[in-house]
A and B are shown apart, each in its own frame.
Chain A
Amino acid sequence: MTISPNIAVQFKNVTKAFGEKRVLNDVSLHLEQGQVLCLLGRSGTGKSVTLKIIMALMRPDSGEVWVDHENLAGLSERGLSAVRKKLGYLFQDAALFDSLTLYENLALPLKRLTNKSKEEIDDKIHHVLLAVGLGSDSAKYPSALSGGMRKRAGLARALVLDPKILLADEPSSGLDRITASEIDELLLRCKEQHGTALIVVTHDVHGTRRIADRVAVLDRGDLVAFGSVEEVAQSENDVARRLIAE
């Protein structure tokens, strides 16, 4: 089976359960390259699990997951590793490595996964940190960064390998409106400047309305709405309408 050339991520009838609890129930959705998909839903409805399945950190119980034209189910660990190199992941709490400075956090993937020289790595890190507004903080440890700075640092690490697809797990949670808006700006810039496909798990309706090309609403494991912001706002599903309206 093949996938349309412009599709970055596609879920086909994906199901995932933890014990008795089914967190994804026959979910099918897709995202085109250069688009932003916002995943909305109440807490515990499988949004973060969706991201982890795309990143191959978890395997679905059934169904197919295609990432950049590769069916994850058919890939060896080496193949999965190759797919992961095309992805960037901004974790909910940034998940920066505590024992490493900001510079070292960003240098780690560059040293491990590329053949760049020390000068090229320094240059890349400098540019990425400047882009997220942390140009003068490279020597700081994560414990010395504020919540907003940690999110920016996590975003910088996710972007340092120039991913084709960026996954962001609640990038604006715990941030004030202004900082959240700045993070949204950075995400939009990724899409506009590099054509990156973004999947953003969020509870921020304002941000969703601002950045989303597509919106998917999950409720108790079911995909209850999928479409543009306007389409979801007019959805027949009450949960979807309320989530996008709040």
Chain B
Amino acid sequence: MSWSGRVFESVGKVGAFSARVLMDAFRPPFEIAQLSRQLAEVGNKSIALIVVSGFALGAVMTLHTRNTLVTFGAAAMIPAVQAVSFFVEIGPLVAGLLLAGRVGSGIGAVLANMRASEQIDAIESLSIDSFKFLVVPRVLACVIALPLLTLFMDFAGLLGGFLSEALASRISPELYLNRAFENLQWSNFIAPTLKTAVFGFIIGSVSSYFGFTTNKGAKGVGEAATNSVVIASLLIIVADVLLIKCIFFLFPDTAI
């Protein structure tokens, strides 16, 4: 089969896999215990990474934009620029990419290892639907956790930006927050945050696909982890472009 043929075949397989996730997510039995376990794995264990990254990114962004805005006499705009850029784009996208790295590789490697060590066969041998038991809770956990983690990223970025600005101009927290949210509308905030649920679905289903379907033994574990991160990251960036167009169409006010 040609290279392009293999690409289309893979896209079709991932698409069918994702469609099965969507169908099985609404079909009982619901794996609530597994979902809780995965939410802890995906959400709790990612908070530190997200908060520290957001804080550092916020501080760095203020350091970069400050000089330019001061030059144009727009120093008062620094909090607003910080808030808009984080809530609308940087927060959702960076949170998605960070989660693709941390969680995507983890899901890919864990499922591939379970396949290689016959744990998935063992689940099937116990008359348990391994797809519903292993894949669906992981994808749902990503869908639920990523918007919440994005909020942590947004506010950590704002805090980093504030501290950076406060050291330079001694701005008060009240004034910083006032200026940050002065021009921000709910639609600027809600739609971009919710789009990360789609990023979460991409991370969960792509990484689960590579882990769950591998048949290369121990070698497949590394491949699944790498493919999960690379493909999920790429798809997140591509999906971001499409989702932004959708958001602009549905909420024209958000086009700043």
Contact = CB atoms under 8 A, between A and B. Distances in A.
Interface of A: 52, 55, 57, 81-82, 84-85, 87, 89, 91-93, 95-99, 108-109, 112-113, 157
Contact of B124 (A57, A82, A96): A57
Contact of B121 (A52, A81, A96): A52
Nearest to A158: B125
Given A89-B122, A91-B122, A95-B122, A112 B128 contact: yes
B118 interface: yes
Contacts of A89: 121-122, 125
A108 B118 CA distance: 16
A112 B126 contact: yes
Interface string B113-140: 1100111011111111000000000000
A89 B123 CA distance: 11
A57 B114 CA distance: 15
Contacts of B128: 108-109, 112
Given A93-B117, A97-B119, 17 more contacts: A55-B124, A57-B124, A81-B127, A84-B127, A91-B122, A95-B119, A96-B122, A97-B122, A98-B113, A98-B117, A98-B119, A108-B126, A109-B127, A109-B128, A112-B128, A113-B126, A157-B122
A93 B118 contact: yes
A109 B117 CA distance: 19
Nearest to A161: B126
B127 A113 contact: yes
Nearest to A85: B127
A55 B125 contact: yes
Contact of B126 (A84, A92, A93, A99): A84
Nearest to A169: B118
A237 B62 CA distance: 81
A76 B160 CA distance: 58
Contacts of B126: 84, 108-109, 112-113
Contact of B118 (A82, A91, A109, A112): A91
Contact of A84 (B37, B114, B117, B125): B125
Interface string B95-123: 00000000000000000011001110111
B106 to A, nearest CB: 12
Q: Which 8 A-B pairs have the closest CB atoms?
A: A95-B122, A95-B118, A81-B127, A89-B125, A109-B126, A84-B127, A91-B118, A95-B119
Nearest to A113: B127
Contacts of B113: 98
B117 A95 contact: yes
Nearest to A81: B127
20 contacts: A52-B121, A55-B124, A55-B125, A57-B124, A84-B124, A84-B125, A84-B127, A91-B118, A91-B121, A91-B122, A95-B117, A95-B118, A95-B119, A95-B122, A96-B119, A97-B123, A108-B126, A108-B128, A112-B126, A113-B127
Nearest to B37: A99
A87 B117 contact: no
A99 B33 CA distance: 13
